[in-house]
Amino acid sequence: LIPFSSIAAQDRAMAPALPSDGVTDRTFFQCMTLLLASGIGSGVLVIPRAMASVGYIPAALYFFIGALVSGATTWVLSLAVLEVRRIWLEEELKHPLHSSERDRRNQMHLAVERYGSPTTWRDTQQQPDDLLSPMTPSIRRSTSFRDFVTKVGPSYGDLVERATPECPWVSSTLDCVLFLHNTLALTVYFLFVSESYERLGWMWPLNRFGEPYTHVLTIFWTAFWGCLLSTLPTVGALARWANASPFVLWLMMGSIWFEWLFNWHEQDEQQEPEAYVEDWLERSPSVLCIAVFASFWHTNCVAIAREFQNPTKLRLCVLSFASAFLLGLLYYFLAVGGYFTFGAKLLTAPNIVTLYGQADPFFIAVRLGLAFSLTIAIPLNVFPIRESVENMQLFRKLPTGIRRRLLGPATDPKMQATREHEIVGVTLVLIPMILSLCFRNVVQLITILGGSLVSLMMIVFPCIVFRMICPSSLLWWTTLMIGISFATFLALASWGFVGEKV
């Protein structure tokens, strides 16, 4: 649907947000790893249960749909980032932000005196008649200032507001959805990490305290590392640690297949796996919600795209669809191994890992790997919502004395941005930590997320952003209507109004 321009335009590299930013240098493999790490979450443990609800043939269709939707929408968001970065480079070449460090500080100090905040100093250099500029008065987000400080690029909210300059409430809605989604998703991560550690038995030292103290202390332990890693400046800083998530998925799939093929588990009550189970149509909407959530990484794909090294339309297309279908294929083979091992018994278990004994050597390694990878996924998912919270400019509403004490002097924007990152990041980890101590229904959470919130960020908002790069207004409206209809269907299914809940 998105026409390619000339070969020269396709091969043109994405412009850095500022010259020599030192950030936009992630390789293809690193970006794919970050996408997979963002997509591989707690939903991986209930995927075999989803297959057992409908059969292995319908499940293949749903994983394919999830991968196709994920790849297409990821590509749309990536192309939008490419377009914004190109425009920003052109503006930078026409109107340099600063000629020297001294000039920059003088302009920043002047802005503080005039406006009470340094976030508006860059806006004084814009061209008012440039309606496409990300720094026009209609674009009221603070990312332009943070782009200068942290040297990153447009956020998800920036793309949405840029696509709908006449409706600024749309990007505000995205900020709220991001906050709610990530809070619930990180709550699920905390619960799965805690369960993985607790099932290690004597190998986990905190198990000696017994319940409920083991659960509480394990949550605190996970939150400590989540808070520490969430203070990093950009998502790319977790690139090396993110390698653990794809490795754990391979390890988990290999362990399940090995024990299935060598029949390590005697399942006396095991029901033979079926291509189509009874009443599979009634359960299909709920299973589709789980498949959609399992293929979701859209809170981070914008940040990953803006750090991609030498991106072109073709390279972004390959990155988006290759990552989506690779993840979907791994999910399907993992579900096949679990379903052919336990059959319908999966329907009575919270997740597949609980069906393996605590002394199983393979799944001791799997539980350790899951705990580690989900611990990394916590800060990885904090970064996008941190941008949304900072765009709300809550610190500017504080009294000057308190703001200065928390963030430092206004004449040092680098220190202010760093401290704001740290305070917001830690707070966003502590909120789901508290919720995880009270709410433990994981499957229901995943279904609600997949149907009501993920569908918005994975389908509706990318369809809105598609307006930036769509060559036809009719095509954009058609795409938007289809996206809203599909997202509405998933939302109704997640709440049980369509089909039978799994």
pLDDT in tens, 449-500: 656 778 888 999 999 999 999 888 999 999 999 999 999 998 888 777 887 8
Higher pLDDT, 21 or 184: 184
pLDDT at 352: 83
Percentage of the chain with pLDDT > 90? 17
Query: Is there a contact between 138 and 169 (Cβ–Cβ < 8 Å)?
Result: no
Q: What is the pLDDT of residue 78?
A: 93
pLDDT at 93: 61
- For position 204, what pLDDT does the model report? 86
Alpha-carbon torsion angle 164, 165, 168, 174, nearest 10: 40
pLDDT for the residue numbered 365: 87
Asked if residue 336 has pLDDT above 80, the reply is: yes
The tokens describing 24, both together, are 């936009």
Helices (H) and strands (E) counted in the chain, each on its own, are 20, 0
The two tokens of residue 297 are 């990484």
Structure letter (DSSP) for residue 26: B
Query: For the residues 350-372, what does the mean pLDDT come to?
Result: 82
| pLDDT band for position 203 (cuts 50, 70, 90) | confident
- Looking at residue 24, its pLDDT comes to 54
- Residue 319 is predicted with a pLDDT of 94
Q: Measure CA of the first residue to CA of the last residue in the chain; give whole Å.
A: 35
Would you state the pLDDT for residue 446? 59
* Least reliable range by pLDDT among 233-237, 247-251, 348-352: 233-237
**pTM surpassing 0.85?**
no
pLDDT at 351 exceeding the cut of 60: yes
Q: Which residue has the higher pLDDT, 109 or 169?
A: 169
What pLDDT does 264 receive? 58
Q: Is the peptide bond before 413 cis (omega within 30 degrees of 0)?
A: no
- Average pLDDT (32-41) is 84
Q: Is the Cβ–Cβ distance between 49 and 351 less than 8 Å?
A: yes
Which pLDDT score, from 0 to 100, does residue 236 have?
A: 63
DSSP, collapsed to helix, strand or coil, labels residue 120 as helix
Place of tokens 């890992």: 353
How far are the Cα atoms of 152, 217, 237, 416, 449 from residue 23, in angstroms, in the given order? 7, 36, 9, 20, 31
Q: What's the confidence (pLDDT) of residue 112?
A: 46
Rounded to whole angstroms, how far apart are CA atoms 162 and 167?
10
With a cut of 60, say whether residue 143 has pLDDT above it. Answer: no
Half-sphere exposure of 489 (CA within 13 A, CB side): 13
